[in-house]
Structures are given as structure tokens and as C-alpha cells.
Structure 1
Amino acid sequence: MKTIGVDVGGTFTDLVYCNLETGELAIHKVATTPDDPSRGVMQGVGEICAQNGVDPSEIAHVFHGTTTATNAALEGKGAVAGMITNDGFRDIIHIGRHQRPQHYSIQQDIPWQARPLVKRRFRKTVGGRLAPPSGQELEPLDEAGVRQAAEELKAEGVEAVAICFLFSYLNPAHELRAKEIVEEVMPDAFVTTSALVSPQFREFERFTTASLAAFVGPKVKKYIADLGDALTTLGVKGELRIMASNGGASTPAMVSEKPALTLLSGLAAGVLGGGWIGAQCGRDRLITFDIGGTSADIGIVVDGQVAEADARSTEIAGFPLLQPMLDIHTIGAGGGSIAHVDRGGAFRVGPQSAGAVPGPACYGHGGTEPTVTDANLVLGRLEPEDFLGGAMALDAEAAERAVAGFAETMGLSLHEAAEGILTIVNANMANAIRSRTVQKGIDPRGFALVAMGGAGPLSGAEVAKMLSIPEVLVPPYPGITSAMGLLTTDLKYDAIRTQFQVSTGFDADRLGRDLDAMFEDLTERFDADDVPAESRAFQRLGDLRYVGQGYELRVPLGDGPVDEAMLAQFWADFHAAHAREYGHAFTDSPIELVNIRLVGTASLPKLERLSAPEGGSLEAALVRRKPSVFRTDAGLETFDTPVYRRVKLPVGTPFDGPAILLQTDSTTVVPPGAEAEIHTSGSILIRLKDISGETE
């Protein structure tokens, strides 16, 4: 079976072709086409098929990580969106909650107020009200008011509508009827409801999630349709699967219906790819560290399981989300990050980026500002004639001019400025990792860092040293690890319902009925996708908290009938989870079940392993020796550094840094004081000699 994984990044579109029966694997990169990412995807798919003598009709699956929704949210370039909500609740998505991004700042930027997804004039209110605890109707829906609101939105040029009513997570009837009316009036608009997107309590987050779905919906729906048509034109007859934020694949129909599923599409694939690489090396406690041209993405894998985000930390572009998604933290730090002096005179790197066009100065596309890639070239850590395997030459003189101009502004030498750029961007990334580990009670010294992305292997070892992480893994194809991650996933759907039950006086029958209904919903979805029953698996979970707490912890709920024994284990597991997370538990306190979740997965053909590296010798791998600059305890030092061709390095033979390892999709830097070797799985293991990794 032949498959292709395609991941669209800010600078490059990465592709991996794999014959799952023979293990044959090939990689390819093309420039991302920001105006229409599907053009780059089509170019890449056509080229990788041609390069490997494969007819497009032979491709059984195309797995795709898309940034369409992500970029629309981050750049604020979505559809003109409208909202219909209850009378008196027009400003829910503006007011938010008492928690602000920065509690004590009076000049902070509050995204939902500064950059509203739905402008106030496009928020319409209508009569009608449901009430807890069962969603009973207090006031019937004003259908004439809904129709009038839709006609007004249509006249105002609105392209997408989010219908958001109070307590619709208990009873979606009013939202569904309003959706029917709006679709009659606005047949060309994208229409969604908050209960469809996220049937959970917390109206601000639910309404915002629905608004995000409306904001990105038309663009995502058009992109998926165009991509499907283009694949058909190319001759691809296989199935298209889109990576979702929850770490599973979805069908085009599901993504078109629920576009918010893809808000972290490409990022999720990277974490999965990093976890898969760690498993190949026998490591199950990992920090995935994916650096591209514009951003660095960080994920955590504990005991082989990728951490999932909770309701407190799930967001995109500063907007809160109520969507199942992997716990991924992104900062504006990548190869294209620009060094600059801020208004206070401080030396900064990022989040501004040179992007794909014009890109770093050394790309020769008109860029003049100093970037991280330019700094690496100035310090001798990149080969100007061997970038992307020789497919692209770097302009060393342009890089020097850009960094030299900045150095003059800062009163530094050329090498001091270049090294300062790398130190600052690496410190930014180390701090981001601390926020996901140390600040959550996780000691990073017990983990391995998986350095991936086009720029990850350049910085991985130095970032690990800042965090006292003893080992760095560099995947066989670090620049396309996200694309490889696409080939390791399964089809995955989530069903969620809010329960609000307390352990004292718990209605087990109600829980059982809701679980059965959710099972039927997912079964219908799998049936619609023609998924064989034998390939399906289900997991039940609950969001629990002590009565009076504001947020929940997610705890597995066992299989089988809901009885006293199962519930007793459920409560005990929550006490244990609370003790792990917070260091204590209140075993005598009543527990509240807030949400129940059913996760359905269906196995897809996937990449099992890579071919063992052939290896060679250090002598055969040596390309040349060159001067490169590193900071040591004595200050900046120039080293006579060997440059190796990675594919020719011996397997299992350690060698000392400094060293530069070349391959098509990335360059790996082994700094002084580190030791590297090629693992039998093909990954590079970099060990930092002066770091033990032991924890107290």
C-alpha cells in the first residue's frame, strides 16, 4: 500500500512517500505557496510521485496536515462572520471572564476585545430560552426574529453565521431550528452551531469556539474541496485524510462540517511524529521540539502518551477553545525570526519573521534583516553550497551584511551579534519548554529532547543544555517529521456531553444512557465513513473535580456496565490523579462529574518502522573541515569543525563535537562538549557529557 503525507509549513511544504509493504520511503520539499497552499501541495505530490516512478493512481491514502485554519486565526484573515444569540447576551464573546491574559496589566492586549471574531454590528439577538438542568424550554424560539436576523446579516455581506444559545449543550433544539432557518435565507453561507462544535458548558468558551468555526469555516471548506478536486485531477484515487487537533485523522466531510477541528492540524502531526521517533529509540519520556521557519512548537510525551490540553490552556491566537486537542505550545521563534532592537533598546529575536517571502537575507530573495538562519550561516554552522542537499544555495555575503548592520547598531562584533541572536532565540525556546514542564511540576531532566523541523537540529543541543536535558534525539528526516507523523495516526472522533453529577447521590442509569447515546453517534459516523466494525475501538473518560473547584481533571472510565464497583474505581482514580497533579487529594470530599467523553478510533494503514541505516565510517562521511564559532566557558572560540554527510556516518560509533551533519532536509549541529552517534533506528543520539540527567 502506497501513501503520502503532506505537511504545509510557513516556509516549506514537506512530503513523505512510503510503500508500507516494502518499507520504501522518500522525502521531498517544495516552497509553500501562501496565497493558495493547495498549489504547493499539488506540486509536491506530483513531483514526489514522478521522482519515485509512482503513478498517482497507485496512492491509497493522502494524509494532510493543514495550516489553513491556523493561519486564518493567527493572521485574523477569516470570513466576515455573524452571530445569532439570546436576547441580552450579545456581548458574551466581548466580556469574557474575570480571568484576563495578564491579571495586573491595565494596558494588555485582550484578543477577543481588540480583534473580535464577530464584530458587534453582526451579532443579532432573538427571543427564546432553555434552562438547566435538563434543557427544558422556558420561552419558545422566536423563529420570525431568527429569519429577520438572517436577512439582516445577508444584506450586510456576512459569509458565515454561528448560532449560540444558552444551555444548548443540554438541548440543541433551538440551535438546530435556527440553523435551518438561516440556511433557508442564506444558502451560500457557512452556518454552524455551538452545540455542534462543542456541546459543553462555559458559554463564553463555547460561543468563542463556535465563532472561530464560523470565522475559519468558509476558507477551510473551500480549501478542502479544492484540494480534493486537485488530487482527482492529478489522478489520485486514494482517500484523503486530514489531521485534526486531537491527534487523529478526520475525513474531508467531517472537517468541512467542523473546521475548528483543524486549528492545530500540522502541529499535532509534529508531536505524533516526535513520539513515534522516540518509541523507535526506546524512549517514552520525550519533549518534542519542532522548529520551522516562523515558529517553535513544543509537546510532551509521558510514558508513550501525548499530553492533551485541558480547558484552562486550550487556545489559539489568544482565543479560548473548547475542543479536544493535544497539548502543544507555540512561540514565535524559528529560522526566519528577525533580530531587532525594541522600543526600550533591548536585543530581541522574534516573534516577527521573514517568512517564506522574502525569507532570511541569505535566501537571496530580497530579505535584508538579520534572522536566525543568517546567524547560523555567519557562525559557520550551515554549508552555503549544501543547503537542502544542494538544491538551494545560500548567499553568505548577504547574511554577513544583514548581521553586520545589526552588529553595528548594537556595538558588537559580527560574531558576537550572530552568537547573541542564537543565544536569545534558544533562551526563548528554553523558557517556553520550562513553562510546559517545570511550571507544571515536570522535571525535564528525566526526558529526552526530540529536535525536529528544518531548524530544530541546529538548536536542539544548546537548548537541551540550558535545561540540563542529557540527551537529544534527531530523527532520520528531521525536516519532515510532521509529514511522517501523519503516517502514524488513526481515524479519531470525540463525543462529549456535560453531565453535572455529584458522587453523593449519583445517577448511574443516566450516565449509562448518555454513554450509550454517544456510542450510537460515533457508530453512525464510522458507518458513514465506511469504517469496518472490527477496526474500531472506544475509550470512555470523564472530566472530574471536587465540588467547588473551577476546573477539571480528565480520568479514564472503565469498560462494561456502570455499576457501584466501576464508580468506586472512577472516584479513586480521580483522587490519585489530583494527587499527581497538585500534590494532594481530599479523599473525603464529594466529587463532581462535569463532562463525559467517548473517544472513537479506527486503525488506518501506518508507518511501522524505517529501514535500518547502512552506515559507513567517519572517514567516508567527512566532506571537509571548516571554521565554526561556538561559545564556551572561555568566551567565543573558533573550532576546526568536521562537516559530515549524515547518511555515511557509522552506526553505533560515538564521535565528539563540534561537528556539523548534513542531509537534505536539515543540518544538525553537535556542539563542543557533546557526543553523538547514529542509533540503529536511524536517529542521531546527542549526549551532553557534563549533564547527568539525574533528578533529586
Structure 2
Amino acid sequence: MNRIAVDIGGTFTDCLVIHNSQIVQSKALTTHFNLALGFNEAVKNACETLNIAPDTLYRNVDSIRYATTLGTNAIIERTGPKMGLLVTHGFEATTAISRGRGYGEGLDLETVRDLTNADRPEALIPLSLVRGVNERMDASGHVIQAFDEDRLRHQLKDLMDEGIQVLVVCLAHATSNPAHELRVQEIVAEEYPSHLLGAIPVILSHQVSGRKGEYVRASSTIMDAYLHGIMYHAMADLEVNLGEQGYTKPMLLVHNTGGMAQLNSTDALQTVHSGPVAGIHASEHLSKTSELGNVIATDMGGTSFDIGLITEGGVKHYDFQPVIGRWLVTTPMVHLVTLGSGGGSIASYDPVYKAIKVGPKSAGSQPGPACYDRGGLNPTVTDADLLLGYLDVDNYASGKIPLRRVRSLMAMEDIADDMDIDEIEAAKLIKSTADRDMATGVQRELRTKGYLPQDFTMLAYGGNGPLHACGIARVAGIDKVLVPPYSSVFSAAGGASMSPLHFHEHTQMIPICNLRKIGTKPKKMVFWQDFDALNKIVEKLETRGRDELARQGIGADKARHRLEVDMRYGSQKMEAAVIVDKSRFEGIRDLLDLVGKLATNFEQRFGKGTPAPESGVWIVNFRVATFVDDDGVDMGNVIPPHKKIAAPKPVNMRTCHFVGTEGAVETPCFDGQALTPGTVIQGPAIINPGNTTYLVEPGWRMEAAANGAVWLMRNHGQG
């Protein structure tokens, strides 16, 4: 296995290289103006460790996997193109109305509590660029109003005169019959051939989402179209860059579904949050191989703090209608919660509440925290960590970024003056605020899903995860923290472990069982009998999955399928995803199995008595995951060995300050020798092997396991 995996974050570009059984991790600052530069620098740093030339590495690797925040940044910064939208006549206001709930989607909890003062998001396509097409399909895909092609040609001219750069098409019931959407695409090509207009993208809704529901299908297609040009050109430039380096194979892009694919099989929407999702994939893999039980995955980087949930057995959660930015979409996506807390998060004084506020604004990689001495003037979490004594000024990021303490002191002066405290106390307040905010996010994620924090192991990774793990876990009520192998580039390790995966969906309401009264006889359950109809839907979705893999040069013999259905009771609106144990429906016993799984799901989520089979049970959506089995990165057994060994001699002592502890504390500092499996170190202590910093706070202890894995345990009755 020879491969390169790169995760480009808001502050750092993380790289994991596997070459002839050697695994090397490296970092470089993200170059937002040209992502290829940071990419090349991260790979170059890894090559220096391997002692090989970059062109030799590029020729020998079997794949390069790439995750990016480019799409996320484009949504935040509103840097997408001018777009036009074609909908069925009468549906022009669908996106503007947004089912009446557009005010609340994507807002934080405080704002949701006061929706009367909330604002709708600024539309990606204003109503002035929406046109209603005279056509209509019914829910079964039958034409009930013929297509008015002459009117469409005039509408296209209007939109082109407005200067649109992308055309979005979302016609009613196109998932049942896409003929009219496809005809729109043909007419655009007829009226505006590429040699006259240029290759203006035409994004069809039925190709982006297989689900019914006009608003969510429209918002998904609009979001995909908004990111299409940005992602296509940036990824194409990166492929050109790789070609110049000597790599000739197609680049693989990490998807937010938990899989990956080549550029020709990737929708732009699938790349949003792909980096953090790769970390959750690695967490799932580690949870299975080491039997960790319930795991809450936390990724604290330079810009954000991402949370993912993996329950016992290594099963990650999916959102099948996630919110991206302020818009509800239908792309299946690994469930993820993102907070604006990271090492580069800017701290400020809130005069109204007379308290410290941390984030969501970030210093990013340019200029970065004040201590980077690159022009940053605002205090950040990293500046606070430096002033508290946790960071080594000469060995931060493997010595590639020298830190200047005096810059952090200068940045901290305004907050200290506003609160009439010294800079060290201000730094302690910043750390405690950041830890509390992240812990609150962890608690909310667990408790809203019915779990108790004390029943979970917290995985702490990302560049700042091991540094803040004890503080977050202490507030969240978690006693065990695992810092996994390759923790500083753990999301890149997840990308290296991924395999091709595609979801395809088909929406169709099918009553699989109903309670009926026949004549004078008592009521009885009547089951769906047309199993061929069900299986034809599944076969169609499997074929689409195999075709997707074939486009990437993967044979049908390697394709694996997993069938899932979304189900609900006739009297209820809530839906539940149920995994089907087999790929085909053979009889009523299979339907009974689904009914039982739905009941179990509802009782676990909503309590006993919530299942309502007497009102009928419906399948509302079919979903097939098509994937290829692949070996992940071997992280070994991360359970600490029974045989314990004494801590090595500290390399030095450093004056540190800890939240909840008065005054300065002389703290032992260790190098990579402290990570020898079996080593136990009581806090307070600092371990810096070069690529990250582990902070063992008072009341906690560190136990080292294999492959650089570290456990942070709360001592009973302390911390």
C-alpha cells in the first residue's frame, strides 16, 4: 500500500504518506490563494522524513486522496457564480418560502429560541432570476401539461441577458420522469452551443437528488451548482499540478458520505465538510478494530471543532437531509456538528455580558495567531496556550513555526485592560471559555440523542485536540480520552483508509402493511404482495451504483451493495432509516422484519409506546450504498498494555498555569520517549514528540499505548 492522503483545513494542510510500509505525517500552512502550494509543501516535508525525492514518491504511490474545505469556504464567503433557476410554472416562490421554516435552519440554539428576530439567509438565486416553465408531470411521471419549448427559449434569452453563469433546472416530479429536464438541457445546447457562449453548466435536479420534495431537491441542486465551478476549476488545477509532479493517475476526492471517488464521479455538494468526515471515518475504523464501544469523535484544528458520534460496534450516524450553511439539502452525509472553536479562534471581550467570547472568527493561516509573528494582532486560543506555558516556542509544528511570546502578550493587553486583570488570567479565561464551549457542544450532541457522556470514550485529534482534551472532557463529564495514532493528521489518515462509496436513492410511497377490516371479520394486517416491484427499484439503484464505479475503472465484480429504506407510520411524520439484511425481498417475513426494526428504532429514539403499526407502515424512500472493500490504515491495538513502566526523566521543567489551580506550577516536560507503550505519567505534565502537544492536566494521568496512541484518564475523585 503506497498512498498519499491530504486534508486541507482552514489553517493547516495535513498530510499522511504511506510508502513501503512506512507511515509519515507532516503539515504545512494552508495557502488559500493557491491550494497546490500548501499541498506541495506538506508532501515535500513528508519526503524529507522519508529521505526520498517528491517525484519518486509521486511515481510510486497507487493513489492520492484529497479532502478540502474549499466548498465550505465558498458558502461562507459567498464567492459563487451568478445563477438562474428554471422551475415548473407555479413553483417560482418555492425556494423563497422554504417550507416556511427557512428562518430556523442552520441557526444556533440561541437564535432559534427567538425566531421572530431571525433573518432568512440571503438567497443564492434571487427571485428576479427565477423563471417558471410551462410544463407539468404528475407524481407518477405522466405528462399532464405539454412542454412549451418556444416560451422556454425566450426565458433562456432573458436569463442569458442577465449574465447568468450557471443554469439550475428543478422541475416538478422530475425524479419520477426526467424527460422535461433533459429536454431543457438539449434546448440550451441548441440555442447556446459552446463555441458561441462557452460551456455554461446546466445542473439538473434529478441528477443531484433522487428524492421527492420540491424545496429540498431545489436547494440541493442550487447548492451543488453554486459550488460546481469553484470546485471543478480548483480540482482541475490540482490535477494539473500533480501531473507536473509526475503523478499520472486520477486524483481521488473524499466525499462527505464517508467514501471517495474520482473527479468525474463527484458532485460539488459531496465535498462540503469532507475533511472532518474523513476523521469520523477513521474513528469508526479504530472503534471497530479496537472494540472501543461508544465513541464521541472530536477534531480540534486551527479553525473549527468538529463532533461526530459512533455507537458501540463502530456505526457512524448519517444525516439524510442535512443543513449546509442555512440550507436544507438531501445529499446523504455523515452526521457532523461544527463549532467555531479552534486554535486560531479569536478571543474578544463582550462588554454587555462582561465576559470573554471565543470564535467563531478565526485568524486562519494568514495572518494566523499573533505568536506566529505574521501580522496577526488579535488574541487567539493558541496565544493563550503559549502564555499559559503549554507550547514550546522552538518546537511547535515540528519546529517549522517559531513562536514569539511577546506578540501574544501584546495581543492580550486589550482584554486584560478591559477586565482589569493581568495577561495570564486573561489567557486562563480564554482557555476555560474555549473548553467550556466545546464541552457544551459535546454534551448537547450526546444528550439530544439520548446518551450520557460518561458512557462514551472521547477521541481527541486534530492539531489542538490533545492540548485541550482534558479541559473539554472535564467539563463534559467524560473520564476517558483516547488520543489516536497520527492524531495531528487523523482526518488525513481517514482519507487514506477510505474506499469508493456512492449512494443512490429513489422516493416512492409504498404501504408494506395496513390494518384492515374485511366484512364482519376482525381487523387483520394486510401486507404488500408485489415483491417484484420492490426488487426492480433495488436493481435499478444497484445498476446506477455499478455504473458509477465503472466510470472510475472499477469492475462490477468488486462492487458491494447495502440496501436501506426510510420508513414511517401512517399516522406520524417522523421517518427512520432501516438497514435491510438482504438485497432482495422474497416474502412477507422480510416485511415483518422491517416492521420490527422500525418499532425498535422508534422505541429507542422516542420511548415505549411510540410505534403505531395500527395506522399502517410505509416505505417512503429506497437507498442503495454501492462500495468497494478496501484495507484501511493499520493503527494497531490502542488498548494500553497491562505491564506499566515508569516515566522517563523529563527533558526540562516549564512554568505553567492551569484552570482551577492558583498560581504557577513547575511542570515536567517530556519528549517522544514518554510515548513508549506502558508508560504512565501523572499530571500535570506536557509531552511534545514534535508533531503535536499532549497536555496532562492536574487530576489526570497519561497511559501510552502502541503506535503513538495515548490515553488520558481522570484520576478518581480528581480533575
| Range class of TM-score, shorter chain | over 0.9
Q: 1:541 to 1:39 in 2, by over 3 A?
A: same
CA contact (8 A) 2:686 2:693 kept: yes
Q: 1:560 to 1:352 in 2, by over 3 A?
A: closer
1:664 aligned to which of 687, 690, 694: 690
Report % sequence identity: 28
1:194-205 matches, within 5 Å, as: 194-205=205-216
Letter in 2 for 1:341: Y
Decide which moves more: 600-609 or 76-85.
Answer: 600-609
Deviation at 1:560, TM superposition (A): 4.6
- The answer on 1:626 being equivalent to 2:654 is yes
- The answer on 1:178 being equivalent to 2:178 is no
* SS at 1:685 equivalent: strand
Q: 1:265 to 1:621 in 2, by over 3 A?
A: farther
Q: 1:352 to 1:467 in 2, by over 3 A?
A: same
Decide which moves more: 341-350 or 6-15.
Answer: 341-350
CA contact (8 A) 2:384 2:427 kept: yes
C-alpha distance in structure 1 between counterparts of 2:16 and 2:30, whole Å = 15
**Cα-to-partner distance string for 1:447-505 (whole Å, 9 max, x where unaligned):** 11111111111111111111211111112322100111111111001110001111235
Aligned to 1:149: 155
C-alpha distance in structure 2 between counterparts of 1:174 and 1:431, whole Å = 49
CA contact (8 A) 1:388 1:663 kept: no
Letter in 1 for 2:555: P
1:573-612 matches, within 5 Å, as: 573-584=597-608, 585-604=611-630, 606-609=632-635
Aligned to 2:117: 107
Aligned to 2:108: none
1:328 aligned to which of 336, 339, 348: 336
* SS at 2:561 equivalent: strand
Letter in 2 for 1:580: Q
Aligned to 1:447: 456
* SS at 1:597 equivalent: strand
**Cα-to-partner distance string for 1:500-519 (whole Å, 9 max, x where unaligned):** 11123534332111111111
- The answer on 1:248 being equivalent to 2:259 is yes
Deviation at 1:400, TM superposition (A): 1.3
CA contact (8 A) 2:562 2:626 kept: yes
Aligned to 1:18: 18
1:506-585 matches, within 5 Å, as: 506=528, 507-562=530-585, 563-584=587-608, 585=611
Decide which moves more: 499-508 or 670-679.
Answer: 499-508
Letter in 2 for 1:164: C
Deviation at 1:623, TM superposition (A): 2.0
* SS at 2:115 equivalent: coil
C-alpha distance in structure 2 between counterparts of 1:88 and 1:180, whole Å = 23
1:110-509 matches, within 5 Å, as: 110-111=120-121, 115-132=122-139, 134-184=140-190, 185=192, 187-255=198-266, 258-279=267-288, 281-311=290-320, 314-342=322-350, 344-345=352-353, 346-503=355-512, 504=514, 506=528, 507-509=530-532
Letter in 2 for 1:568: L
**Cα-to-partner distance string for 1:18-40 (whole Å, 9 max, x where unaligned):** 03xx4211111111111222332
Q: 1:424 to 1:14 in 2, by over 3 A?
A: same
Deviation at 1:385, TM superposition (A): 1.4
Q: 1:51 to 1:156 in 2, by over 3 A?
A: farther
Instruction: State the number of aligned residues.
Output: 682
Q: 1:485 to 1:304 in 2, by over 3 A?
A: farther
CA contact (8 A) 1:289 1:296 kept: yes
Q: 1:269 to 1:561 in 2, by over 3 A?
A: closer
Letter in 1 for 2:21: G
**Cα-to-partner distance string for 1:141-184 (whole Å, 9 max, x where unaligned):** 22223333333322322111210111112211111211222344
C-alpha distance in structure 2 between counterparts of 1:70 and 1:649, whole Å = 36
Q: 1:644 to 1:46 in 2, by over 3 A?
A: closer
Letter in 2 for 1:110: R
Deviation at 1:220, TM superposition (A): 0.7
C-alpha distance in structure 1 between counterparts of 2:534 and 2:183, whole Å = 27
C-alpha distance in structure 2 between counterparts of 1:279 and 1:393, whole Å = 39
Aligned to 2:109: none
C-alpha distance in structure 2 between counterparts of 1:398 and 1:683, whole Å = 33
2:59 aligned to which of 57, 60, 80: 57
CA contact (8 A) 2:6 2:13 kept: yes
Structure 1's unaligned 5+ residue stretches are: none
C-alpha distance in structure 1 between counterparts of 2:153 and 2:673, whole Å = 65
Letter in 2 for 1:45: V
* SS at 2:319 equivalent: coil
C-alpha distance in structure 1 between counterparts of 2:315 and 2:409, whole Å = 41
Aligned to 1:43: 41
C-alpha distance in structure 1 between counterparts of 2:708 and 2:135, whole Å = 62
CA contact (8 A) 2:290 2:637 kept: no
Deviation at 1:620, TM superposition (A): 4.7
* SS at 2:310 equivalent: strand
C-alpha distance in structure 1 between counterparts of 2:145 and 2:48, whole Å = 63
Decide which moves more: 640-649 or 490-499.
Answer: 640-649
C-alpha distance in structure 1 between counterparts of 2:189 and 2:230, whole Å = 18
Q: 1:128 to 1:279 in 2, by over 3 A?
A: same
* CA RMSD, Structure 1 to Structure 2 (Å): 2.3
Letter in 2 for 1:137: V
C-alpha distance in structure 2 between counterparts of 1:98 and 1:50, whole Å = 56
Q: 1:103 to 1:375 in 2, by over 3 A?
A: closer
CA contact (8 A) 2:645 2:680 kept: no
* SS at 2:509 equivalent: strand
What TM-score do the two structures reach when normalised by structure 1? 0.94
Q: 1:658 to 1:47 in 2, by over 3 A?
A: closer
**Cα-to-partner distance string for 1:376-412 (whole Å, 9 max, x where unaligned):** 1111111111111212111101111212321111222
What TM-score do the two structures reach when normalised by structure 2? 0.91
CA contact (8 A) 1:382 1:667 kept: yes
Structure 2's unaligned 5+ residue stretches are: 105-111, 515-526
Q: 1:306 to 1:536 in 2, by over 3 A?
A: same
C-alpha distance in structure 2 between counterparts of 1:6 and 1:226, whole Å = 16
**Cα-to-partner distance string for 1:191-226 (whole Å, 9 max, x where unaligned):** 211111111122111110100001000011111211
* SS at 1:665 equivalent: coil
C-alpha distance in structure 2 between counterparts of 1:481 and 1:139, whole Å = 54
